[in-house]
Amino acid sequence: MSEKELYLIQSKHPQSLDGIDIKTTHETLFCAHPAEFHIVGESHAVSVPALPFYEIFSCQPVRTEQPPDTTLNTIELCVNTQLTTVHTLGDEHTSIQTTVRIEPLESFPDARSFTIVYKFDTDAYTAINCLSQREYRTYHTYPEHDLTVISCHQICSASNIEPRDMIEASTQW
């Protein structure tokens, strides 16, 4: 893992999972379309081909040049860092708003409360909670840095996006 950065890639184009260690997968509906949520050796990946929406959140830098309509954000790995971004989906009328917040390790909720979870090592987890067909949250713990990275992803109308803090500090979901 990079000592200081995480990478959030969101695209209308499939992201290759070749060579990525997929630990576990959960299939469900997201925005009324089949979706796959993966916990991977580098963090998580989401695929909703019908939207189209593809996401990789990783501690590894981008491996290849990205196609147009791809949003790439770099997030500094330190407590109280926050990022809010909006990625327009394929129909140009729908977006996904993502808020990422980095908190102390102890803010990680009980591991039994998630839709999908994988324990890598002592206190090292990646977990995803599919809250509805319009919202999911992810949790990544980094015990070596005493940090939990929380992301909230919510579908919204592209014309009705309100900048807002979707994640409150130390909120247990």
Is residue 8 within 8 Å of 55, Cβ to Cβ? yes
Distances (CA, A) of 81 to 94, 97, 151: 27, 17, 12
Q: pLDDT: is 3 or 65 the higher one?
A: 65
The confidence score (pLDDT) of residue 160 equals: 56
In whole angstroms, what is the distance from residue 96 CA to residue 113 CA? 24
Average pLDDT, the chain: 87
The confidence score (pLDDT) of residue 109 equals: 92
pLDDT tens-digit series, residues 82-106: 999 999 887 778 899 999 999 999 9
Is the pLDDT at 1 greater than 70? The verdict is no
The confidence score (pLDDT) of residue 172 equals: 42
In whole angstroms, what is the distance from residue 140 CA to residue 10 CA? 18
The confidence score (pLDDT) of residue 163 equals: 44
pLDDT tens-digit series, residues 31-83: 999 999 999 988 999 999 999 999 999 988 876 778 888 889 999 989 999 99
Amino acid identity at 78:
C
- Collect all residues with Cβ–Cβ distance below 8 Å to 40 and sequence separation of at least 6: 17, 20, 21, 22, 23, 56, 58, 126
Mean pLDDT of 119-132: 95
The pLDDT-based confidence of 159 (bands split at 50, 70, 90) is low
The pLDDT-based confidence of 4 (bands split at 50, 70, 90) is confident
Is the pLDDT at 161 greater than 70? The verdict is no
The confidence score (pLDDT) of residue 169 equals: 45
Structure tokens belonging to residue 60: 């590894």
